[in-house]
Structure formats: structure tokens, C-alpha cells
Amino acid sequence: MASLDTRPEAADDPDDGWFPESVAARYDGDDGPFAPSVVEATVDVLADLAGDGDALELAVGTGRVALPLARRGVRVHGIELSRAMAARIESKPGGDLVGVTIGDMTSTRVAGEFSLVYLVFNTIDNLTTQDAQVTCFVNAAAHLRPGGCFVVETVVPPLRRLPPGQDTVPFTVEPHDDGGRLGFDRFDVVTQRYTSNHVRVAGGRGSFWSIPFRYAWPAELDLMARIAGMRLRDRWADWDGSRFTQESTKHVSIWQRPHDPLPGMRVGE
């Protein structure tokens, strides 16, 4: 029988939120969102949108996207809550090309005007209240030059997989010879909050990690963009520009700060 350890690692700094040193140390990978083909497709779109302007990544993490975008010749700056995550950027090729401001993406302002602000890999959901998500849209818009774009990549909430009376959806069950990995999301449809829960067992020792999120439907995000003075320009099912349909499990949405403010609206105050 494995023992289960749910304590934070001793080296972790609470100011780093849900991505402290112990998470940062094993964050980077080779597949899924780290696969070169995925990163390249992402960077193709972002470089095109940035054009000859600067780009700002909210929640830049370890530079998975910011670094290859900077190596394409786009000037990229990042905002990031976790020093442990941001510290990884410096040690990677081109690390000196990406400046990082440590702070909260809902309130941290950086100098300059950007043609592109982006927030990828479901990270809008890391803000666990509607107010925080709205404030993030307002902060993004405040950094954009007129005509600039805010891009969000995130999941479509998988609530169609929840039959009445059920609140939990498994996303992985991976047995191994000496243990395995289980992952499941648990939803509260009243608050739109959910937790992503990970159990890992190896060598007779188990660990449990649970991280809180808040989901929002694409239409709710459109309203947040409107509150921030932006309007929807495109919504795709993925970075390849494929059509967003009712079967889509994620979306890449692009809102634009108009050259002239929308009637009765002021951008990013």
C-alpha cells in the first residue's frame, strides 16, 4: 500500500502561487503543448499578429512560447507571478531576448505599447473569479495600441461530459509497473470553479496535487472583451485556423482593440 503525500515541498515559495519551484522543475516537456509542431503553429499565428510591433505574454511561465517567438525576431516581454517559473527563461537559448516583470497579470502594467497581448495554455482559467478574469481583459486591452489584438487559447468547458448528478471527469488513467498517474477534473457548475486533481504513485510513494480554476464559455469571454473595449475578430478551433464548431474542445480567440473606441466604451481603464 502506497503512502500519500499532499504536503508542499519545503523549497517552495508561497508567493509563487500554484507554480512554485517543485512544479517549475518538472514543467517543461517534449510532447503535448511542448511538441515542436504545436509550438511552431502557435508562434506562426502570434508572429503574424505582432507584425512589426511588440508582444506581451501574460503568464509567460518558462518561456515555452515567448522564447521561440523572440527568436523569430518579435520583441517579447512577459508578466509572470512565479519567480521559479520565470527563472527558467534566463537559462534557455535566447533567454536574454525576453524581459519578465514579476507580478499579477490582472494588475501589473509594463511600459510600452503592444500590437499583441496573448494568454495561452488555458491560463485565463487560473484566475478563479469572474472579476479577476474581467480585470485581466481590461489590463490586456490597456497594453494594446489601437488595432492591436488580444489572443486567448483555452478549453471549452467539458460539461457535456457530465451526466446529471456527476461532477467529476477523468482526463487520464495511466498505470505503470510500479505505480501510475490519475487525473480528474471536478466541477461546480454554480460558481464555474473547478479543480484539476493529479495523483501520482511511484516506488511505493504517492503524491496528490490539486489546482483551482474557473471556466468561462466563449460567449462570456466575448463579453469580458467588450467590457474592456475590444471586439471579436476571429475564433478558431486551434492554431491552424480550423473552424470552431460545437464539437470543438478548445478555442483560439482573437479580440481586437478598435482604432476608434466602441460607442460608449473606453479601452482598458
Ligand X SMILES: C[S@@+](CC[C@H](N)C(=O)[O-])C[C@H]1O[C@@H](n2cnc3c(N)ncnc32)[C@H](O)[C@@H]1O
Which residues here bind ligand X, judged by CB under 6 A? 17, 19, 59-61, 64-65, 79-82, 85, 104-106, 120-121, 123, 126-127
Question: What is the distance of C-alpha 29 from the center of its chain?
Answer: 16
CB of 64 to ligand X, least distance (A): 4
Cα gap 65→228, rounded to integer Å: 25
The amino acid at 243? R
- Nearer to ligand X by Cβ, of 123 and 253: the residue is 123
CB of 46 to ligand X, least distance (A): 11
- Nearer to ligand X by Cβ, of 64 and 200: the residue is 64
CB of 231 to ligand X, least distance (A): 24
- Most distant pair of Cα atoms in the chain: their distance: 64
CB of 152 to ligand X, least distance (A): 11
- Nearer to ligand X by Cβ, of 2 and 110: the residue is 110
Helix, strand, or coil (residue 186)? strand
| Closest residue to ligand X using C-beta atoms | 61
Cα gap 50→148, rounded to integer Å: 8
Nine-digit cell string for 188: 461546480
- Nearer to ligand X by Cβ, of 79 and 201: the residue is 79
CB 36 within 8 A of CB 68: no
- Nearer to ligand X by Cβ, of 153 and 206: the residue is 153
CB of 82 to ligand X, least distance (A): 4
What dihedral angle (degrees, nearest 10) is formed by the CA atoms of 194, 103, 108, 67? Answer: -90
